[in-house]
Amino acid sequence: MLDRGRGLTDARRVLPSLSEWQAQGRQVTVHGRRVFVVERGQPDRPAVVILHGYPTSSHDWSRVLVQLSASYRIVVHDHLGFGLSEKPTDYSYSLVEQAEIAVGLWRQLGIDRAHLIAHDYGTSVATEILARAERQPWGITFESLTLSNGSVHIELAKPRLIQHLLANPTLGPTVAQLASFSTLKRNFTRIIATKGALEDHDLRTIWELIEREDGRARLPQISRYLDERRKFWHRWIGALTRLEIPTLVLWGDQDPVARNVIAEALAGEIPGARLQWLTGVGHYPMVEVPDRYGAAVLGFLGVKSTQPPDALRELGPR
């Protein structure tokens, strides 16, 4: 049996089961909606808030939490419609509303300063948060930003065919109904580059988290976020070009969806941004190489790490 504890190599650390993960967090009501949140570290330490990707959940971050929480207070939650959070039928699933839920949660937890980390879908939620803060502050000061393998530059991305089908108003409900564990496994196999990073039992837990509370039926609504990336392109990219906080673009360089050209574009347009590649890594770097990912984040935030110096290849600042 594989050990679930500390000190394991990246590819061998087992993801927690659904019940194990559920036991590590709690439900909080935000704007009348039930949100699942996991908190780690001491509350008096600097806060790091995390926004997860699509179609998964905060569970993606389970492998790096011990490493990060040794120095920071970590808060990671499930967006509405994902994981263990509420999956309402009467909700827009707009990235704008997801941003409001995220900030509402953080403020409810007493966070007024934080480092922000975002992956995939979460990068669009993050850019909406930053765009809104530029116009009318939320009451939270963001001290740094880390962006990983997200397609804010939608024109440069290569979403999977199933994402396009799910986002189609006519085909989406049927495609969601037909989706299965085999569908998930097939698609993850194509976007994960690190051999052995996810075993069948890990993928089955991810699928359980998607399916619970009729989650498959919500996928067509959620998948329309691709349209918002086009609609709000100037708002979100514009905010990034005026960003005045330290920014790390931390990218798996073997991602067929959020391609390297997106990382390069972000590093080029965000003032003073630093670009670091996680070599040989696909779309889910925090799942594939959690030790390297955590070391990169801690290094950026100024915490010493035992990670070998050649684990990352850096380009920047620009």
Residue 132: phi and psi, rounded to 5, are -65, -40
pLDDT tier at 311, thresholds 50, 70, 90: very low
The whole-number pLDDT of residue 183 equals 95
Contact 283, 258 (CB under 8 A): yes
29 bridge partner residues: 34
What is the per-residue pLDDT across 260-286, written as a single tens digit (0 to 9) for each? 999 999 999 999 999 999 999 999 999
pLDDT tier at 136, thresholds 50, 70, 90: confident
What is the per-residue pLDDT across 201-247, written as a single tens digit (0 to 9) for each? 999 999 999 999 999 999 999 999 999 999 999 999 999 999 999 99
The whole-number pLDDT of residue 60 equals 97
Contact 73, 296 (CB under 8 A): no
CB within 8 A of 176, min separation 6: which ones?
A: 166, 216, 217, 219, 220
As to burial, measured by CB atoms within 10 angstroms (0-12 exposed, 13-18 middle, 19+ buried), residue 280 is middle
pTM over 0.85: yes
Neighbours of 210 (CB within 10 A): 21
What is the per-residue pLDDT across 72-118, written as a single tens digit (0 to 9) for each? 999 999 999 999 999 999 999 999 999 999 999 999 999 999 999 99
> Rounded to whole angstroms, what are the CA distances from 146 to 49, 51, 60, 73, 114?
10, 10, 16, 16, 12
Contact 282, 292 (CB under 8 A): no
Domain 14-315 has CATH 3.40.50.1820: yes
Half-sphere exposure of 106 (CA within 13 A, CB side): 27
The whole-number pLDDT of residue 138 equals 87
Residue spans of the domains in the chain: they are 14-315
Q: In this structure, what token pair is assigned to residue 313?
A: 């290849």
Element at 47 (helix H, strand E): strand 47-51
Neighbours of 309 (CB within 10 A): 8
Mean pLDDT over each residue of the chain, to the nearest integer:
91
Q: In this structure, what token pair is assigned to residue 53?
A: 């990707």
Element at 147 (helix H, strand E): strand 141-148
**3-state DSSP assignment of residue 131:** helix
Half-sphere exposure of 252 (CA within 13 A, CB side): 27
User: Secondary structure of the chain: what % helix, strand, coil (to 5)?
Assistant: 45, 15, 40
